[in-house]
Amino acid sequence: VDVSTLVCGLNGAVYFVEMAAMGGKGLEENNRAGAKYGTGYCDAQCPHEKFERNESHGICCVEMDIWEANKRATAFTPHPCSTVGPTRCTGIDCGYGAEDDARWKGLC
């Protein structure tokens, strides 16, 4: 990627997450897709699971941003969690809640 072409507001990124290699394929009810189709994805912002109907649920895992950049800035950032491996979360554990500081009370 030629970062000199990434203007402000665009971001190039390379990062690693602690996602299960098979994306939960065969382990979770009706999951026949697996990692190839994005199931089992997680990161330190505990995103809503792709097939979870309850939007207060997510899945958290350690994330290491080894490169995020545009033509004006670059960063590498560890995003630690208090978990080992992908972990389902609910509400405050996911950083979701009505409180202003809910994001900082989560597992990651």
Amino acid symbol at 46? C
Structure tokens that stand for 107 in this block: 């597992």
The 3-state secondary structure of 90-102 reads EHHHHCCCCCCCH
81, HSE (Cβ side, Cα atoms, 13 Å)? 27
3-state secondary structure of 105: helix
Query: Active-site residues: which are they?
Result: 63, 68
CA distance 67 to 13: 5
